[in-house]
């Protein structure tokens, strides 16, 4: 039993009487439940969190754990975190990433970081596009089919994703695709003002570039078209930094 405990905390520092273990992942501290054990490997960093992978001691399953640091410091980031958890907990589709666990904080008074465990995928579409990996027509069709299939499910629930881009499309070795990052998603029935500052600029639909405050699920379809062309071209379709201004000038000329 002592040997098992030594394995569990290898590479980390036990906290809260051994109920949690503190790991240093690329200079970022992950305080994980002792139910998640090494090997702990970094998975990369996004705008709203950093990820690592660990093994669930009970299920023996390797999972990805996303850490959202200081999630409650400002209202916008807190709402984004809540949105992602809310939507992913309610969705059940093979082309949408699945939440495996939401780690409980060790103490309520120190609840600053949110840890979300979800199924582990090997890479994302952005990494594949930027690599030297050959992509056949079958690859392109299969990626597009899965993306549209997952998006149909999302839209059927009256939800807009609002941030579709290659880095938010996760892939495994079998080319299975999962849509992730629902931090900007919202329901079409929301009565709140619909902000136009959504979707990464290269994948942003014309109505968003023109600062329209009301829009439909068509904004996600535009993003899908941009992603498809990026797969085929192996580069972004609209990589223009000042694209909104140029787009307005084109419209005015017409």
Q: What is the average pLDDT across 245-252?
A: 55
Same domain for 141 and 110: no
Domain boundary among 84, 119, 154: 119
Same domain for 29 and 82: yes
Label residue 5 by pLDDT band (50, 70, 90). Answer: very low
- 64-116 pLDDT, tens digit each: 999 998 889 889 889 889 999 999 999 999 999 999 999 999 988 889 899 99
Taking the C-alpha atoms of residue 107 and residue 15, their distance in angstroms, rounded to an integer, is 11
Domain membership of residue 114 (yes or no) is: yes
Q: Give, in order, the Cα–Cα distances in Å from 232 to each of 94, 178, 203.
A: 24, 20, 15
Q: Which residues pair with 141 in a beta bridge?
A: none
The one catalytic residue in 77, 113, 124, 163 is: 163
Same domain for 31 and 129: no
> What DSSP string runs through 128-141?
HHHSS----HHHHH
Same domain for 237 and 132: yes
Domain boundary among 70, 104, 119: 119
Taking the C-alpha atoms of residue 78 and residue 164, their distance in angstroms, rounded to an integer, is 20
Name the pTM for this structure.
0.85
Domains in the chain: how many in total?
A: 2
Label residue 17 by pLDDT band (50, 70, 90). Answer: very high
Same domain for 244 and 132: yes
Residue 201 structure tokens: 């600029």
Q: Domain span at residue 25?
A: 7-119
Q: 3-class SS at 151?
A: helix
Which residue did the predictor score with more confidence, 46 or 95? 95
With pLDDT > 90 as the criterion, what percentage of the chain qualifies?
A: 61
Where residue 211 sits, what CATH number does that domain have? 1.10.510.10
Taking the C-alpha atoms of residue 47 and residue 211, their distance in angstroms, rounded to an integer, is 23
Same domain for 243 and 155: yes
Strand residue runs (E) in 6-70: 13-15, 20-25, 28-33, 36-46, 49-56, 62-68
Q: Are 203 and 165 in contact (CB under 8 A)?
A: yes
Q: Give, in order, the Cα–Cα distances in Å from 138 to each of 35, 81, 96, 127, 185.
A: 40, 35, 21, 18, 30
Where residue 92 sits, what CATH number does that domain have? 3.30.200.20
Same domain for 174 and 94: no
Same domain for 235 and 137: yes
pLDDT at 37 over 70: yes
Same domain for 170 and 88: no
In the residue annotation, 124 being an active-site residue is answered as: no
Same domain for 106 and 180: no
pLDDT at 249 over 70: no
Same domain for 151 and 49: no
Same domain for 103 and 156: no
Q: Are 32 and 24 in contact (CB under 8 A)?
A: no
Ramachandran assignment for 17, one of left (phi > 0), alpha (psi -120 to 50 degrees), beta (any other): left
Domain membership of residue 14 (yes or no) is: yes
Domain boundary among 68, 97, 119: 119
């Amino acid at each position: 039993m002592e040997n098992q405990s030594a394995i569990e905390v290898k590479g980390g520092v036990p906290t809260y009487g051994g109920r949690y273990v503190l790991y240093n992942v690329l200079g970022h501290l992950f305080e994980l439940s002792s139910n998640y054990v090494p090997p702990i490997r970094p998975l990369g960093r996004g705008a709203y969190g950093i990820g690592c992978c660990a093994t669930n001691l009970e299920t023996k399953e390797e999972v990805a754990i996303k850490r959202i640091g200081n999630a409650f410091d400002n209202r916008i980031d807190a709402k984004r975190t809540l949105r992602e958890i809310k939507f992913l907990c309610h969705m059940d589709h093979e082309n949408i990433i699945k939440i495996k666990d939401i780690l409980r904080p060790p103490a309520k008074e120190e609840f600053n970081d949110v840890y979300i465990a979800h199924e582990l995928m090997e890479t994302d579409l952005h990494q594949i596009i930027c690599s030297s990996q050959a992509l056949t027509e079958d690859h392109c069709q299969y990626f597009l089919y899965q993306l549209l299939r997952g998006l149909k499910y999302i839209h059927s629930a009256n939800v807009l994703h609002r941030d579709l881009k290659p880095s938010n499309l996760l892939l495994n070795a079998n080319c299975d695709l999962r849509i992730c990052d629902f931090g900007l998603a919202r329901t079409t029935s929301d009565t709140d003002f619909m902000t136009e500052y959504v979707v990464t600029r290269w994948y942003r639909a014309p109505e968003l570039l023109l600062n329209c405050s009301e829009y439909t699920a068509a904004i996600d379809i535009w993003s899908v078209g941009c992603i498809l062309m990026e797969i085929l071209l192996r580069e972004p379709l609209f990589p223009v930094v000042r694209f909104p201004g140029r787009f307005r000038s084109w419209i005015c000329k017409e």
